[in-house]
């Protein structure tokens, strides 16, 4: 497994931007698909974005498509989530996750992920 640490969360006004970062350590980062998920208070955890090990396959939730961008740098063992045009409904704890079984795909299913970070809080004020 890989160990994952998220950073970059915080408080932002609606319409603003944040960039989340996830640093990985442990086994070979480039062998994993990476995903971002989020969980708002009182709600289930939901898929946000995912990227395959090569970066060639990317998926987004419909709710963030066109506003969020996922990317990865295998040389730096890092995956990023650039979030623009933030809305109050984007407020949540954001989790980074790694999937070995789904490494060739940009998997949406959280049960395909076997390593998780501790999460970073994103708050969006209206």
- Render pLDDT for 63-88 as a digit per residue (tens, 0 to 9): 999 999 999 999 999 999 999 999 99
Residue-wise pLDDT for 92-106, tens only, equals 999 999 999 888 899
Percent of the chain with pLDDT strictly greater than 90? 92
Residue-wise pLDDT for 109-124, tens only, equals 999 999 999 999 999 9
- 113 burial via Cβ count (<10 Å: 0-12, 13-18, 19+): buried
Three-state SS at 29? helix
Residue-wise pLDDT for 30-53, tens only, equals 999 999 999 999 999 999 999 999
Residues 126, 43: Cα–Cα separation, whole Å = 20
Residues 101, 93: Cα–Cα separation, whole Å = 25
Residue-wise pLDDT for 8-25, tens only, equals 999 999 999 999 999 999
Question: What is the per-residue burial (b if ≥16 Cβ within 10 Å, else e) of 32-52?
Answer: bbbbbbbeeeeeebebbbbbb
DSSP state for residue 87 in the 8-state scheme: -
Residue appearing with tokens 């086994």? 27
Neighbouring-strand partners of residue 59: 50
Question: What is the per-residue burial (b if ≥16 Cβ within 10 Å, else e) of 73-96?
Answer: ebeebbbbbbbeebeeebbbbbbb
């Amino acid at each position: 497994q890989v160990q994952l640490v998220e950073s970059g969360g915080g408080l932002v006004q609606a319409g603003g931007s944040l960039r989340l970062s996830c640093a990985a350590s442990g086994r070979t980062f480039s062998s994993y698909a990476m995903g971002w998920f989020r969980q708002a208070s009182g709600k289930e955890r939901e898929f946000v974005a995912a990227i395959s090990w090569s970066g060639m396959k990317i998926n987004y939730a419909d709710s963030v498509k066109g506003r969020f961008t996922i990317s990865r740098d295998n040389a730096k063992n890092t995956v990023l989530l650039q979030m623009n045009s933030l809305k109050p409904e984007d407020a949540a704890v954001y989790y980074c996750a790694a999937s070995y079984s789904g490494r060739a795909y940009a998997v949406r299913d959280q049960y395909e992920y076997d390593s998780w970070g501790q999460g970073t809080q994103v708050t969006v004020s209206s």
